[in-house]
Amino acid sequence: MLELRADFLKEINEDILRRYISEAKNTGLKIIFTCRDPREGGKNNYTQQARLNALLHAVSMNVDYIDCEAVNFKNQLEHELKTALNKSQTRLILSAHDFHQQFDNLEMLYEEIITLYPEAVVKIVYTAEHINDCFAAFDLLRENPGSIIMCMGQAGQISRLICKKLGGLVSYMSLDEASASAPGQLTLQDAKSLYRWDSIDADTEFYGVIGDPVAHSMSPAIFNACFEHNGANSLYLPIHVQGESKDLSEFLENVSSRPWLGFRGFSVTIPHKTAALSYVRGKGEYIEPLAENIGALNTLKVGFGGIITGYNTDCEGAMRSLTSAMKIDRHGLHQKHVAVIGAGGVARAIVAGLADVGAHITIYNRTADKAKRLADVFKCKSAPLEALADMNAEVIINCTSLGMHPDTDSTPLPQRYIKKDMLVFDTIYNPLETRLLKEAKAAGAAVISGVEMFIYQAMAQHEIFTSAPADEKVMRQAVFNRLAAK
């Protein structure tokens, strides 16, 4: 379908409208004709009479739908529009928009609108201030398939895709980012390629990455490429959960109490990894022992009846990166001397894996206390960053954010400390080759990019989500395409 937003035209008269609508009809697409009131997001300040005339003209040209604000229909336009519609095939969309927040009582609003004109398609669109505001829209749409109910804003973006599964008549996409007519609108290109719009149906299962921010995550690209390749009726979404652990808990409760939405699993990233663990623990559900040990989850699986279980694949991702680069199995890491730089979440996952195979680990961190606490848990050594000058390591792993985009000139390790018989693994994957890796290569050392860990942890997640192995080639290609496009 094409939506014609006549309120964006600089001028509206019969001639202009005739040409505008005829040209649109020549595409062969169905037409929604809208001349939006500025009080509900319209662009130019046309009078009520001018907008009514435009709608009547569109009806006379037999467009498929006209969209009129419910409040204007009720107060002024009902008689004339009804008379025109009675003699035509055109259907009426009666709409209500709130650009600031959720409507007070959605069910009541729906009833009020449908009572005005029972043949109408009801359209209710409001701004989600938080992703949790989307669930009321999902509930209402599920009860009233064939209507148009979705949320605006970044937090509402998933509703623009999920609405198709729930039987929404349409979602709105823009031709490009600059021509978006409402906040949070996806481009047609992203909806169709990245988010597999054409394949969404009532049976589609959803996955997603929970984080804040998530807009630039590569996970949707790699999972959706994999789902496409496997012909899976699944879609992976960016799930922007702002706030604290209570907001995450509310989101997970919303998901698990609505199995009909079809959410099956989540990747979890900053800042929700430890809150995810607390949530699953609080529910008394299964947590993989390694994840308990790490103290954070990066994977949630939504099982039968909405039960959510927890896993951590960061460790698996890092261990597989090391063993495949070194062409050894995990036991080959036994007694290897490893310097881990950083003592945050990723360092903890990697130290847990290395400690399990008996590597000799030293943790170096800016905040020495934090390094010591982590070292005490896994019975290894710790030291301040300055001690890197005297390190005796065969493998060095950067688990800090030093060198990550946009801070690409930074490095956690002066080049003079790198020797040619070392293996240097940077967990950062943006950029693909960090300053640390460039300098390590120049020093003749072997290197591993964080992209390896990213791919392997995602492959392990795919297997947890679907019980089927992921196609490494497809995931790799998707990551490189994405990074090359930046």
* 347 touches ligand NAP by CB under 6 A: yes
Q: How far apart are CA 230 and CA 9, in angstroms?
A: 44
Query: Residue 67: beta bridge partners?
Result: 34, 93
Answer yes or no whether residue 345 interacts with ligand NAP by CB under 6 A: yes
The amino acid at 307: I
How far is Cα 455 from Cα 437, in angstroms, rounded to an integer?
18
Give yes or no for residue 365 binding ligand NAP (CB under 6 A). yes
344 binds ligand NAP (CB under 6 A): yes
Longest distance between any two alpha carbons in the chain, whole Å = 87
Report if residue 399 touches ligand NAP, rule: CB under 6 A: yes
Give the N- to C-terminal CA distance of the chain in Å, as an integer: 31
Is 370 a binder of ligand NAP (CB under 6 A)? yes
What is the set of active-site residues?
A: 97, 123, 273, 314
Q: Which is nearer to ligand NAP, 84 or 355 (CB)?
A: 355
Choose one: 39-47, 171-179, 300-308, 337-345; the region binding ligand NAP (CB under 6 A): 337-345
Which member of 101, 105, 367, 481 binds ligand NAP (CB under 6 A)?
A: 367
Q: Is residue 373 near ligand NAP by the rule CB under 6 A?
A: no
* Between 144 and 449, CB nearer to ligand NAP: 449
Report how far residue 275's alpha carbon sits from residue 277's, in angstroms, rounded to the nearest whole number: 5
Locate tokens 């982590």: which residue?
374
Helix axes 472-485, 450-466, angle to 10 degrees: 130
SS3 label, residue 161: helix
Tell me if 343 contacts ligand NAP by CB under 6 A: yes
CA 16 to chain centre: 41
Minimum distance of ligand NAP from residue 369's CB (angstroms): 9
Residue 322 found at the interface with ligand NAP (CB under 6 A): no
The reply to whether 429 sits near ligand NAP by the rule CB under 6 A is: yes
**Would you count residue 401 as binding ligand NAP (CB under 6 A)?**
yes
Q: Judged by CB under 6 A, which of 454, 462, 475, 482 binds ligand NAP?
A: 454
Is there binding between residue 295 and ligand NAP (CB under 6 A)?
A: no
CB-nearest residue to ligand NAP: 344
Q: Give the separation between CA 445 and CA 439, rounded to whole angstroms.
A: 9
Q: How many residues bind ligand NAP (CB under 6 A)?
A: 25
Task: Give the CB-side neighbour count of residue 147, counting CA atoms within 13 A.
Answer: 26
Single out the residue of 313, 275, 296 nearest to residue 465, CA to CA: 313
**Residue 185: DSSP 8-state:** P
What are the residues binding ligand NAP (CB under 6 A)?
270, 314, 317, 342-347, 365-367, 370, 399-402, 404, 427-429, 450, 453-454, 457
